[in-house]
Amino acid sequence: MSESVDLLEFLADQLADAETAWSIGSFGAIAEFVRDIEEAVTLQQGDRSISAVTARGGLHIEVQDALRLLASESLTAESWSHRDALCLPQEVCVMNRRTVFTEIGPDHEALRSADRPAILFDLGLGTLQLDACVRVADDATVSSLRSWVGRSLFEAGNGAMGVLLAANPHRVFISRAGRVEVYQPIPPPDGKSPEGPHTHLLPKLLRHNRTHAATEFVPAGWVPCAHFYPPHAIRDGFGGRQPFRNDRHAAFQEMLVRFGDPELFDIKRQVVEAVTAGHGPATLSPTNHRFARAALRVALRQIKMSGKSPSTVGAWLAAHDRIDVAESEEEHPCTA
């Protein structure tokens, strides 16, 4: 089998796991697809694609020859996060980069046939690898939104956002790797993200013009166009703490071996071997490479939280795991 077929089968297995979450977006704008274990879902697999649709949202992923899967871990304030990024070369990932509110027309690629006559509007965020859109079926809402076409969504006096908040249209976030569709209502400005598929839109972060968070390891020249998040060793699907799950930890370490950066994984291996053998923290010299430092610290936290901590791990943590907010993953509670 070709590499793309192997990757397609691997992704289909991940999509079949209801505890694996998915997203498509950019830094400051993201759509997430998640589902409950008992939730009704339609799963489909084509020659080069996979999809999942529930009553609350849908996901479609296209496997291209240029697609690269990259597994990585990042520090959080107290533990770590992990994800697998579906990356494309920068010259391949580019979307339309519209900077004003734009009518596109009927959504012929909608995951449900009933949604295809509805009208897509691009929000005009100008992001490199993402077209962030809304899909409107109501004629009166379409007519109202057309009066704001050609203007920036964020300019003073633009009433398009008010129309969108009142109408609760579908959100459709599209990249070269696929799309996420969200059918659930938009929460109020002071509300929290609903369970299930939802979107985040954060203008302050969009102004940074980044394709991804600085804490996520992505090689130069590559851009993440979709992500999936396998079950975590110490967090449940709602982000709450749970007892350490060694099976989940081992499963993601296997992904790091297969799809991660080998140099960063080798640092983790050295840390585990040194701590387990009872060596002191001076065994490994400090590094000025932020991702190497993060790999070392993640390894120590995983050793500690596994409940099988050697007596030396405390000294290692004291020497190497100083709190550094700049190296911890950002948390964004706002939603749209």
d(CA 286, CA 319): 9
The span from the CA of 174 to the CA of 156, in Å, is 27
Q: d(Cα 157, Cα 63) in Å, to the nearest integer?
A: 41
CA distance 308 to 244: 10
| Portion of the chain with pLDDT greater than 70, in percent | 94
Tens of pLDDT along 254-292? 999 999 999 999 999 999 999 999 999 998 886 778 999
pLDDT at 329: 58
Terminal CA-CA length for the chain: 42
> What's the number of CA atoms in the CB half-sphere (13 Å) around residue 148?
23
Count of alpha carbons within 13 angstroms of residue 45, beta-carbon side:
11
Task: Give CA–CA dist 200/331, Å, rounded.
Answer: 11
Per-residue confidence (pLDDT) for residue 325, from 0 to 100: 47
Task: Specify whether the CB–CB gap between 60 and 111 falls below 8 A.
Answer: yes
Across the range 79-94, mean pLDDT stands at: 97
**Helix or strand or coil: residue 275?**
helix
pLDDT at position 310 over 90: no
H or E segment and range at residue 174: strand 170-175
Instruction: Considering only CA atoms, give the Rg of the chain.
Output: 21
* Helix, strand, coil % over all residues of the chain, rounded to 5: 30, 25, 45
Q: How far is CA 32 from CA 243, 295, 327, in A?
A: 25, 26, 24
Residues 6+ apart with CB under 8 A from 99: 124, 125, 126, 152
SS3 assignment for 284-333: CCCCCCHHHHHHHHHHHHHHHHCCCCCCCHHHHHHHHCCCCHHHCCCCCC
The predicted pLDDT at position 332 comes to 40
Mean pLDDT, all residues of the chain: 92
- Residue 117 confidence (pLDDT) above 80: yes
Section 81-109 average pLDDT: 98
Cβ(135)–Cβ(150) under 8 Å? Answer: no
